[in-house]
Structure 1
């Protein structure tokens, strides 16, 4: 972080709208981000502290199924609860921005620019597939064993060791919604962003920035850079999320994790507007010529995504956008030996009234 008199953008990792915030959320990134934002403001800095709900995550689908709700109903009620909890906590955030057409346009414009510049590549990959349901599985729709640490893990990345397990890498995959369904692997063509193409810039960035990171997160980045970097899925065959507009992948959706950077730009723009500082372009405050100090607050399970994937999403735009000065990463709180998890219903809610028990 810097002591120069620069505008600052502080982002708490976008919460998945599959329940209220729990104690791990509140005492970790949301409290940490709020304290830092207050410190900056007290020293006379102009600061925007922001986040927005992550509605496209497949964990919304799996949690909605477990609770007997429609996904859009779960999103609506969860967003209201999250906003109420942030307000009760007294954070500097003016609220949560609506996930509306302006949000979706921001996400798609960010990705379309990369597509037009030839940054994405069409790849044939093997994806887990639930035979009876007739559905490709990813992230919260699939569970199994992490190939890196052999702990139980969902798809995408392991919460225990932080390593990714894209595509067919998860061992012994099971369909989250119906574990009795037979899971096989099927070939599918998707668009990806090749992280390996950015190794030189990544190496330079981390050499300059990670000395300020906490040791566990810094170690994970070192481990990831010690081997070939995985491709980032940009599209995925699914039904919940933003429809992908690219002709190469008809019927697919935008992979939820690549929404984070344009989502954060949108949230920054909305927050500025609420505070009487409107900007013409949604991404204006993130542009390099604005020279904002950008700081992320998130948990260890998001080091791969917020610390690496999202950085590559910015670097893919060349020198257009600023890059984070620091990633402030907190460790997990455990409950009976398991991390707090909304999707697994294993947590202590921050609200006074927990959700009704479900079977």
Structure 2
């Protein structure tokens, strides 16, 4: 590496296209990431600052229903608003990459490699199911009480305490779109990524990296490691998202959080091509031999996913990829005692659409 400045990849948490960016987004990961990217560039470092929309999130489905539109139309209009806001703010991002066939191929290749290497496990799990709608519930489609802090939570992870709630762990689950629809439990066989198998590597990683983390995020990681690590869903019985390519789970989709790492690799590849730093392979800039400094910027509600799940997604590939040198985590902006939330329409918009 002698004779050249070390490259850097700065990733702001991938925004869900169920609305424009709000003030919490802009003042949190997007502004912070931009400041750090500018600092590195001012010091002569080649920097790629990027993100991409998280189209497969179930929050797109629930928000589209609330707004009386289709998920596809909501993604299209929200992506345009998000890109306009980033451009109006004057960030170093060169734009949002298209969620196209190259994106989907990057995601599918990433998970296919892990499947072929035997990293996934088949599990029969109990899942909440809306009887009248005939739909399995997860993340933005289900709400209830967090089993850890006993505060209201959506599925997947609690925004209050940050702890995960997978499968049937959410207390008194309700179907977000129709709370009157009876919710029962049904057993389904899915594929999972068993994080507990990576405990030793995780402990070693956090021992060397966590001192750079902010106290609240570091505390949450410590709490998660103090108990058995959960299995992460890889596939889920649903219809919105990328169809899972595995013979064991016909008719299922990839769990949206499984897309985050290959999505970020794809976004880096696309952004690099716009600024003349392109590589032929989509994951080129994330390869360990590229020796890039990798830094994430996200909110506290993403510590579990970006700080733990996504790290395991990289470790599962062996030594192929670099790992983040830091997770820079911001706290929530509150409005009337509640966090800013696009899915709940409780926020102050960035109003990028009115900036000229």
TM over 0.5: yes
Q: State the distance in 2 between where 1:22 and 1:352 align.
A: 9
**CA offsets 1:10-62 (integer angstroms, 9 cap, x no match):** 00000000000000000000000000000000000000000000000000000
Q: Which residue pairs with 2:308 in the alignment?
A: 308
Give 1:5 deviation, angstroms.
3.6
In structure 2, relative to structure 1, the CA distance for the partners of 1:44 and 1:352 (3 Å cut) is: closer
Q: State the distance in 2 between where 1:106 and 1:249 align.
A: 20
8 A contact 2:127–2:187 mirrored in 1? yes
Give 1:352 deviation, angstroms.
5.6
Contiguous gaps of at least 5 residues in structure 2: none
Q: State the distance in 2 between where 1:352 and 1:284 align.
A: 33
Q: State the distance in 2 between where 1:83 and 1:126 align.
A: 39
Q: State the distance in 2 between where 1:284 and 1:352 align.
A: 33
**CA offsets 1:143-195 (integer angstroms, 9 cap, x no match):** 00000000100000000000000000000000000000000111000000100
Point out 4+ residue stretches in structure 1 off by more than 2 angstroms.
none
Pairing 1:11–2:11 present: yes
Give 1:276 deviation, angstroms.
1.7
Within-5 A mapping of 1:287-298: 287-298=287-298
Aligned residues: 351
Q: State the distance in 2 between where 1:78 and 1:275 align.
A: 25
Q: Which residue pairs with 2:96 in the alignment?
A: 96
Within-5 A mapping of 1:109-120: 109-120=109-120
In structure 2, relative to structure 1, the CA distance for the partners of 1:96 and 1:140 (3 Å cut) is: same
Q: State the distance in 1 between where 2:161 and 2:279 align.
A: 40
Q: Which residue pairs with 1:197 in the alignment?
A: 197
Within-5 A mapping of 1:257-336: 257-336=257-336
TM-score where L is the length of structure 2: 0.98
In structure 2, relative to structure 1, the CA distance for the partners of 1:97 and 1:330 (3 Å cut) is: same
- SS of structure 2 residue aligned to 1:20: coil
TM-score where L is the length of structure 1: 0.97
Q: State the distance in 1 between where 2:245 and 2:16 align.
A: 23
Q: State the distance in 1 between where 2:227 and 2:70 align.
A: 41
Within-5 A mapping of 1:213-224: 213-224=213-224
Q: State the distance in 1 between where 2:224 and 2:204 align.
A: 15
Q: State the distance in 2 between where 1:317 and 1:122 align.
A: 19
Q: Which residue pairs with 1:148 in the alignment?
A: 148
Give 1:277 deviation, angstroms.
2.0
Q: Which residue pairs with 2:84 in the alignment?
A: 84
Q: Which residue pairs with 1:226 in the alignment?
A: 226
Q: Which residue pairs with 1:42 in the alignment?
A: 42
